[in-house]
Homo-oligomer: A and B are copies of this chain.
Amino acid sequence: MTRERIYLFDTTLRDGAQTAGVDFTLADKMAVATMLDRLGVDYVEGGYPGANPTDTAFFSENRTTRATFVAFGMTKRAGRSVENDAGLQGVLQAKAAACCFVGKSWDFHVVHALGITLEENIEQIRETVAAAIAAGREAMIDCEHFFDGYKANPDYALACAKAAYDAGARWVVLCDTNGGTTPDEVTAIVAKAKAVVPGANLGIHAHDDMGLAVANSLAAVDAGARQIQGTLNGLGERCGNANLATLIPSLKLKPDYAERFEIGVSDEGLATLTQLSRAFDELLNRPSNRHAPYVGANAFATKAGIHASAILKDPRTYEHVAPESVGNHRRLLVSDQGGKSNLVSELARIGVEVDKTDPRLDRLLAEVKRREAEGYAYEGADASFALLANRALGRVPDFFTIESFRVMVERRHNALGELVTMSEAVVKLTVDGETLITAAEGNGPINALDVALRKDLGRYQPYIADLRLTDYKVRILNGGTEAVTRVLIESTDGGGVVWTTVGVSPNIIDASFEALVDSLTYKLLKAGAPAP
């Protein structure tokens, strides 16, 4: 069976750069172009040469190997020749094999924003396409506001699309610039455009202002569009553009699409998608969306016990695709909601082997439930969960015993009359029958406690030398300062392993101390420290 080709056009580096708070450097742009090229998209739009020094530098050479590198720009301005339009010339001289020009297709914008006649706008589209072809470039026109324009004046919107096509544009891209169009409208309007742009020459550019960018892209494909424009992780102005990290797996894995269409991303490329999506967020220095379709950390996470036991029997019962196909993996969460199946499979995952019929499992499950009712949350605190489980199985030695601790925070004027705050902690503990007292200062009470606690652990000190705190999170579980506090602490060591521990108490210092002690104990257990 012959499948039709769908072309993927990535605009992360152009429309995605309109995102509030996103500001790509030249090095960022090169890194992202390489990621996209390896993934297998067909077009990488790199920016707007001439608009700013970064984009101009980026287009000083071709930046892709497999994909077609695309320069973005505006159609020719009114009242100038192609030769005398500096903006247009900047785009045509960029080292890119293709050029994508935004052209207006909503009569209201032509008259009010550009201040030219409707026919003049069409003439500009024609001349711009012709100039790009003459310069040896693959030419594309982005019809800005195509759907809103069609609703206001269908004949004019279609005339703009037809003019681009007739002038020789390889692609005529229909843009839902404001993101306010529904899938039904997309279906109907793309079908109309297909009548004037026959063949595989229509593209779709959707925005997510109604949470419909992915659905609108698929609706356009069903109606005849063969190019999809989108961005990595749905980056883009306002609510973002169509998310390619969602569309690619759907096009490849859903029979409804995979049987009819093919794309340039291979199965091997698809299997790198989760890693690529997270690497892109790392580059943007932002946390990844844990709930993102296909690639989110929770995309294949199950909490309900009854679902978990079904998944263990046959994953297809509660998974619409195999997590491995997109490089993701299944997670069964231990929680109040979960049952014994979740517990056993989670224990296996963290390396705690135990027979399913072991009576200590029931006690452990009851203990987990009791603690979760108190405010503990083990789904995000693997290390505390491992300790709890190993303790229930009698596998955690009492490496040390905390006798007492004391923290003091004082704010006062120093000798120079400056207001300073001092935090000091004292910890008293017993190791091997020996009492050790340590004291430390810190920039806050938790920091002081952490430093004091790790200062002298007697014979165990070498095992914790490389321990280091990397994150600290606090959640108050009920309103008011008298509520219960839950603290999550993330730690790491020289080996790059990261673990998380939890503490709960009405007193934030107590809760933090509990999580600190769990982290130490976990590290000792992990490092194979001998029992006293």
A contacts, CB < 8 Å to B? 17-21, 23, 25, 27, 51-54, 108-109, 112-113, 177-180, 182-185, 208-212, 214-215, 218-219, 222, 234, 237-240, 243, 246, 250, 254, 256-257, 285, 289-294, 296-304, 310, 313-314, 317-321, 331, 333, 335-337, 369, 372-373, 377, 379-380, 402-413, 421, 423, 442-447, 450, 469-483, 485, 490, 505-510, 513
Known: A212-B215, A473-B476. 4 other contacts (CB 8 A): A183-B183, A238-B301, A409-B509, A443-B507
Q: A377–B481 contact, CB under 8 A?
A: no
Asked if A404 contacts B408 (CB within 8 A), the reply is: no
Q: Which residues of B contact A506 (CB under 8 A)?
A: 443-444
Q: How far is the CA of A410 from the CA of B412 in the complex (A)?
A: 21
CA distance A390 to B369 in the complex (A): 50
Give the nearest-CB partner of A511 in chain B: B444
What's the minimum C-beta distance from A216 to chain B, rounded to whole angstroms?
8
In the complex, A304→B509 CA distance in Å?
A: 39
The residues of B that contact A298 with a CB separation of less than 8 Å are: 19-20, 237-239
| Contact status B408-A407, CB under 8 Å | yes
A411 pairs with B421, CB closer than 8 A: no
- Chain B min CB distance to A98 (Å): 21
Q: Chain B: which residue is nearest A286 at the CB level?
A: B475
CA distance A470 to B476 in the complex (A): 12
Q: List 8 A-B contacts (CB under 8 A).
A: A178-B320, A234-B291, A402-B411, A446-B481, A446-B508, A470-B480, A471-B476, A474-B474
For A302, the chain B residues whose CB sits under 8 A away are 237-238
When A409-B407, A475-B285 are in contact, do A380 and B21 touch as well, CB less than 8 Å?
Answer: yes
Known: A410-B404, A421-B507, A507-B443. A303 touches B237 (CB 8 A): yes
Nearest-CB distance from A401 to chain B (Å)? 11
CB < 8 Å neighbour of A444 from B108, B373, B509 = B509
Given A239-B298, A377-B21, are A482 and B447 neighbors across the interface (CB < 8 Å)? yes
Contact for A185 among B256, B442, B482, CB less than 8 A: B256
Q: Are A445 and B445 in contact (CB under 8 A)?
A: yes
List residues of chain B with CB within 8 A of the CB of A296: 238-239
From B112, B239, B408, B411, give the contact of A291 (CB < 8 A): B239
Shortest distance in angstroms between A345's beta carbon and chain B's nearest beta carbon?
A: 15
Q: Is the CB–CB distance between A20 and B490 below 8 Å?
A: no
Are A237 and B301 in contact (CB-based, < 8 A)? yes
Q: How far, in whole Å, are A485 and B506 apart by their CA atoms in the complex?
A: 19
CB distance from A516 to the nearest CB of B (A): 9
| Interface core residue of A314, A372, A411 (most chain B CB under 10 Å) | A411
Tell me, in angstroms, the Cα distance from A25 to B504 when the chains sit together. Answer: 14
List the B residue with the shortest CB-CB distance to A516: B481
B209 touches A256 (CB 8 A): no
Closest Cβ neighbor of A222 among chain B residues: B184
- Asked whether B183 lies within 8 Å of A18 as measured between CB atoms, the reply is no
Docked complex Cα distance between A108 and B256 (Å): 22
> Known contacts being A178-B319, A508-B445, is A20 close to B472, with CB within 8 Å?
no
Are A373 and B54 in touch, CB under 8 angstroms?
A: yes
Residues in B with CB closer than 8 Å to A51 are 337
